[in-house]
Amino acid sequence: MRDTPQGGASARPSPIRHIATLQEGPLHAALKSWYAEPGDRHEVPVDGRQIDLVRGHELIEIQTGSFAAIRRKLTALVETHHVRLVYPVPAETWIVRVDGRATVLGRRKSPRRGRLEHAFRELVSLPALLAHPAFSLEILLTREEEVRRHSPGRAWHRKGWVVVERRLVDVVSRHVFRRPDELAVFLPASLPPVFTTGDLARGLGVDRDLAQKMAYCLRILGVIEPDGKVKRAVGYRRPASA
């Protein structure tokens, strides 16, 4: 099931306006501030692990980077606690260039557009966890600033402009997934009864690599199942009980 707050979520932005040494730090801190509610406990040690927020009996972890980095932590915690993983996907990104003194040299809107489906790039590291009754995934569509500083000899594909931090501008919407079957919302109605990852990519308007990651996750969770071959590609279909 997906939850979207009324009127978006821009009423609680908490941007951080300084240059940090770690890319993920300011974004993580701002999201934790935005997400927190009165009564939440912050940075609580639980079973020897530090938890971002504790809300009643639920542990809330905000992850702005790789899911693989917290797979073992979540897998252990979910056996004895209710756990929610919160992950931001930047629906809109503004690129901010700064000099060595953090003076802004320019700001422009990136052509990149994040979508909910992009969370599968990380979910592929722990898809089976969503089948656990004590686990839920919340995807936040956000607006962000990506701060870059020039560093000759690095990031050659960006002509030496290195990303030094990400900043939260606001949260556009939030979407919660508590059960595997809720991920069926990502299967477009235009899919044929037996489809390939190529069909999935075309139906969603995403690249084939992302469609393959989605198919892997959905197969692990029983949302789709293999059904022979379509030419040389693996065919998939929705389970008969779906």
Residue with tokens 């690599």: 209
Pairing of strands 135-150, 41-46: unpaired
Buried b (16+ CB within 10 A) or exposed e, 136-161: bbbbbbbbbbbbbbbeeeeeeeeeeb
Confidence of residue 241 (pLDDT cuts 50, 70, 90): confident
Q: What's the confidence (pLDDT) of residue 135? A: 98
Pairing of strands 233-237, 225-230: antiparallel
Looking at per-residue pLDDT, the higher value among 157 and 33 belongs to 33
pLDDT digits (tens, 9 = 90+) for 44-92: 999 999 999 999 999 999 999 999 999 999 999 999 999 999 999 999 9
Give which of 36, 27, 39 is closest to 64, Cα–Cα: 27
- How far does Cα 172 stand from its chain's mean position? 14
Confidence of residue 158 (pLDDT cuts 50, 70, 90): low
Per-chain mean pLDDT for the chain: 88
Q: What's the confidence (pLDDT) of residue 93? A: 96
Give which of 222, 220, 219 is closest to 235, Cα–Cα: 219
Is residue 117 pLDDT above 90, yes or no?
yes
The tokens for 146 are 């990506």
Average pLDDT over residues 174-182: 97
Average pLDDT over residues 132-151: 95
Average pLDDT over residues 160-189: 94
Average pLDDT over residues 134-152: 93
> What does the alpha-carbon distance between residue 92 and residue 114 come to, in Å, rounded to a whole number?
7
Percentage of residues of the chain with pLDDT beyond 90: 78
Confidence of residue 24 (pLDDT cuts 50, 70, 90): very low
142 neighbors 169 (Cβ within 8 angstroms): yes
Kindly report the three-state secondary structure assignment for every residue of the chain: CCCCCCCCECCCCCCCCCCCCCCCHHHHHHHHHHHCCCCCEEEEEECCEEEEEEECCEEEEECCCCCHHHHHHHHHHCCCCEEEEEEEEEEEEEEEEECCCCCEEEEEECCCCCCHHHHHHHHCCCHHHHHCCCEEEEEEEEEEEEEEEECCCCCHHHCCEEEEEEEEEEEEEEEEECCHHHHHHHCCCCCCCCECHHHHHHHHCCCHHHHHHHHHHHHHCCCCEEEEEECCEEEEECCCCC
